[in-house]
Amino acid sequence: MSIAARFRLQWPDFVLDVDLTMPGRGVTVLFGHSGSGKTTLLRLVAGLERCDDGRLVINDEIWQDHGRFLPTHRRALGYVFQDAALFPHLSVRANLEYGMQRVRHAMDQESLDHVVDLLGIEHLLQRRPEQLSGGERQRVAMARALALKPRLLLMDEPLAALDLQRKREILPYLERLHDELDIPVLYVTHSPDEVAQLADHLVLLEQGSVRAAGTVSELMARLDLPLARDEAAESIIETVVAGHDDKYHLTHLDFRGGRFAVGRLQRAVGRGARVRIHARDVSIALKEHRDSSIVNILHATVQQLAPLNDWQMVVRLGLGPEAAIPLLARITRRSADLLELVPGKAVYAQVKSVVLAD
C-alpha cells in the first residue's frame, strides 16, 4: 500500500516539481518553510488545484494519470483546513451529519460514535460553533472529515491558528487518531514539535522541490538537513515498555539499541512509546561512568560530525551493536578535539533527559 504522487506545476514566480512515493498508512508530514509548496501539493492531491502534468495513485486507486482526472467530489478524502469552516447555523451534530448525507459510503452510526469518543466531542454535539473554543472547533472539523469514511485524510496546518494552550489541548487527540486510523494522513506543518509528535514519514520541501523524504527518525538525524542543525534539534526513537521498577518508580523502555529508564509511565508492558531526546541533552564519554547521576548511558559509535558555528559541533551517533539507531549530540568543538572523535570511534552516549513524545 502506497501513495504515488508526481506533479509538475509552473507559475510565473513558482515551480512545483515533485515525484514521491509515500506510505499507504500512518502520518506523512509535509514540512518546510512558508512558500515551499506544502499547501499547493496538498491541493493537487485533493484535486482543488489542476495540474495537467501529474499522476496520483492512492493505494492502487488512480485519481489522476494520462488525461484521467477524478474531480474532488469523487475523491474519497477528508480535508481539514486551518480554519475549521463549520456551518455557524448548525449544531455540532448537524455539522457532522451534513457531510454524511452527501456521500455514498459515509460512516455508520457506530463508527461515528467511535470517532466522537476518540476526539472527545460527545459533550459538544448540541452546541453551535460560536460556543466552541478554537481547539474544539478543530476537533469537530476532524470528526466531520472522518465521518465521510475517507481513504485519505488531508490536514493543512490544523493547529496554526491556535494559541499554545489550545495546541497542547488538541495534540493528545491527534495522537489518538495517529494510533487508531487505518488510512494514510498527509499533514502539512512548519512546526518541528508537530513533526516530532505525529510523523511516521517525513517529506522536506524546499522551493517547490523535495529536499529529502524518509522516516522521521532518520531525517531528523541527517546532518546535511536543517532539522539536525536547529537549536532545538532532537532525535526520535521508537521504544516498547519492557517493565516497571516499583522501588524507584521507573519504567524501562527497550529499543534496538538498548534500554532507557524514565519516570514511571501508566502504560502496559508491550505497548509502544515514542521518545524525544534533545541533542543538547546528550553528552559523550570514552568510558562508562557509573559514578554520576545520569541514569541512561548507552554504547554508541560515532558516525558523523559537522560544525554548527565557531564553537559547537553536532555529532551523529549510532546506538546498539549495529549502530542502527541514530542519536544526535550537540557538543563544543573543544570537546570533540579532546575526545579525538572520528567516524567509527566507540564511545558512550550519556542521555540526561528522555521525553515521551506521545
- 149-189: pLDDT as tens digits: 999 999 999 999 888 888 888 988 888 888 888 899 999 99
CB within 8 A of 189, min separation 6: which ones?
A: 29, 30, 31, 157, 159, 160, 195
Of residues 149, 145, 152, 146, the one with CA closest to residue 2:
152
Strands of 47-183 (E only): list them. 54-58, 61-65, 68-69, 77-80, 152-156
Q: What is the pLDDT of residues 47-71, one digit of tens each?
A: 999 998 899 999 999 999 988 999 9
C-alpha cell at 135: 481547539
pLDDT, position 292: 87
Of residues 297, 288, 289, 273, the one with CA closest to residue 355:
273
Q: What is the pLDDT of residues 184-212, one digit of tens each?
A: 999 999 888 899 889 999 999 999 999 99
pLDDT, position 354: 93
Provide the β-strand partners of residue 187: 29, 155
CATH 3.40.50.300 fits 2-219, yes or no: yes
* pLDDT band at 358; cut points 50, 70, 90: low
CA 80, 82, 88 angle in degrees (round to 5)? Answer: 80
Share of the chain above pLDDT 70, in %: 99
pLDDT, position 181: 86
Q: What is the pLDDT of residues 249-298, one digit of tens each?
A: 999 999 998 999 999 999 999 999 999 999 999 999 999 988 889 999 99
Domain segments of the chain as ranges:
2-219, 234-356
Of residues 306, 289, 304, the one with CA closest to residue 351:
289
Q: What is the pLDDT of residues 297-330, one digit of tens each?
A: 999 999 999 999 999 999 999 998 888 999 999 9
Q: What is the pLDDT of residues 69-128, one digit of tens each?
A: 999 999 999 999 998 889 999 999 999 988 787 777 778 888 889 999 999 999 999 999
CATH 2.40.50.100 fits 234-356, yes or no: yes
Strand 201-206 to 26-31 pairing: parallel
CA 327, 248, 281 angle in degrees (round to 5)? Answer: 25
Helix, strand or coil for residue 149? Answer: coil
Residue 215 near residue 238, CB atoms below 8 Å: no
pLDDT, position 259: 96
Integer-rounded Cα Rg, in Å, for the chain is: 23
C-alpha cell at 232: 532545538
